[in-house]
Amino acid sequence: MSSAPSATIIVNKKARFDYHLEDRFEAGIALEGWEVKSLRAGRVQLVDSYVIIKNGEAFLLGAIITPLPTVSTHYVPEPRRTRKLLLHREELNKLIGAVERKGYTLVALAMYWKRGKCKVEIGLAKGKQTHDKRDSERDRDWQRERGRILKSSKR
């Protein structure tokens, strides 16, 4: 058996519950050295993270990368700092056009490694209303119950 580490660092499950996802994009992220080490240790949270576009560039806000205890003593790490996302100009233009339309937002869905580089999956999304969240929870529960019924009827 291979003990290769998983490429996925973290998945933001709450984003899939809180938003209707329209489209997904892969973006690189500009990190500092201590942040890369913390990501390799899995010390990151994406729960309340989102993406803003400012001056034609995309930035990730709200992501918390907790520093390792071995970070240098003469450097004060900032866990909640704004991090620049690296996208192609066509992708940025598409995102800018979509965000300017009413109700669209950009949320961080996942972080993963790809060829040794950290990538962020961002989603173009619309926020769900409370009743939409209840409907999706009801559907999920029904799918789970249906699977149990089918499994027990096969026996």
Show me where the domains of the chain are located: 8-128
For 98, other C-beta atoms within 10 Å of its C-beta total 15
- Determine the Cα–Cα distance for residues 11 and 44; give it in Å rounded to an integer: 10
- Determine the Cα–Cα distance for residues 13 and 34; give it in Å rounded to an integer: 25
pLDDT per residue, tens digit, the chain (155 aa), is: 445 556 888 898 888 878 888 889 999 999 988 889 898 898 899 888 999 999 989 999 999 999 888 877 777 788 889 999 999 999 999 888 888 877 788 999 999 999 989 999 999 988 777 766 777 778 888 888 888 888 888 77
**C-alpha dist (Å) from residue 143 to 51, 124, 130, 152:** 32, 26, 20, 14
In three-state secondary structure terms, 3 is coil
**Taking Cα atoms as reference points, which of 84, 82, 67, 73 lies closest to residue 33?**
67
Contact criterion met (CB below 8 Å) for 85 and 120: yes
> In DSSP terms, which residues pair with 51 in a beta bridge?
60, 106
Amino acid at 96: I
Residue 58 carries which DSSP code?
E
Q: Which ranges constitute the DSSP H helices of 1-42?
A: 13-18, 33-40
Question: Which CATH class, in words, describes the domain spanning 8-128?
Answer: mainly beta
pLDDT of res. 118: 92
Contact criterion met (CB below 8 Å) for 24 and 60: no
pTM for the full predicted model: 0.76
pLDDT of res. 6: 67
Backbone angle region of 141, left / alpha / beta, with phi > 0 → left and psi within -120 to 50 → alpha: alpha
